[in-house]
A and B are shown apart, each in its own frame.
Chain A
Amino acid sequence: KNQVEQSPQSLIILEGKNCTLQCNYTVSPFSNLRWYKQDTGRGPVSLTIMTFSENTKSNGRYTATLDADTKQSSLHITASQLSDSASYICVVSAFSSNTGKLIFGQGTTLQVKP
């Protein structure tokens, strides 16, 4: 069964600290993995997208890693800011030649406190 699991479910950190969010998946056939940031009351915004051959990708203070062998991904946030408070959603794409599926994780809610 195609599944994406994220941990932790929620996280509280102090401003300036680093944190790492986890995503484990069982999806076949794997096409790519994305991390989205969703601010309260808004639509998700893409942070990174990685294909099978990519191990790491950065977007400013956000760095995503992918281990296709263990089917794990992480999103590392460096020097957190109050504006990082949001939900972070891991999405795995399973696309073949004639069909496609997006499998969503439940998200990790991050709260950055001053």
Chain B
Amino acid sequence: DAGVIQSPRHEVTEMGQEVTLRCKLISGHNSLFWYRQTMMRGLELLIYFNNNVPIDDSGMPEDRFSAKMPNASFSTLKIQPSEPRDSAVYFCASSLGDRGTYEQYFGPGTRLTVT
């Protein structure tokens, strides 16, 4: 199994541009979690899906952020327009379920730099 796949691994963009981050779940998993990590704030849960349905998006910072899960194995996180304070590492994690007892497997992350 290839594990959770994220792309791109690094993204550098200018303020105001649209950024799209991508994540492919582990086969057979049905829950997906998007996280953001910065030195100041540590790891933060942005949103999570179960069976393609967004369950909790209370961590999404503002309307500039949106996430979709068009099918059972793939998700995107879009930032539009991007701002320098969005610079962070964005992780997605895959799980067999969204109940707290299920293990989460993290992808390698996308390092986003907004200049």
Contacts and interface: CB of A to CB of B under 8 A. Distances in A.
A82 B33 CA distance: 31
Interface SS of chain A: helix, strand, loop or mixed?
strand
Given A31-B99, A93-B101, A100-B98, 7 more contacts: A32-B100, A44-B43, A100-B56, A100-B99, A104-B45, A106-B42, A107-B43
Contacts of B103: 46, 49
B51 interface: no
B58 to A, nearest CB: 8
A104 B43 contact: yes
Contacts of A107: 42-43
A36 to B, nearest CB: 8
A102 B31 CA distance: 14
Nearest to B109: A43
B7 to A, nearest CB: 14
Interface in A42-76: 42-46, 49, 51
Contacts of A31: 99-101
A48 to B, nearest CB: 11
Interface of B: 4, 33, 42-45, 48, 55-56, 91, 93, 98-101, 103-109
Interface residues of A, number: 23
Interface of A: 31-32, 41-46, 49, 51, 89, 91, 93-95, 99-102, 104-107
Contact of B104 (A41, A46, A94, A95): A46
A101 B56 contact: yes
6 contacts: A32-B100, A32-B101, A49-B103, A89-B43, A95-B100, A100-B56
B101 to A, nearest CB: 6
Sorted nearest first, the 9 A-B pairs with minimum C-beta distance are A43-B106, A93-B100, A31-B100, A95-B100, A104-B43, A106-B42, A44-B106, A32-B100, A102-B45
A100 B104 contact: no
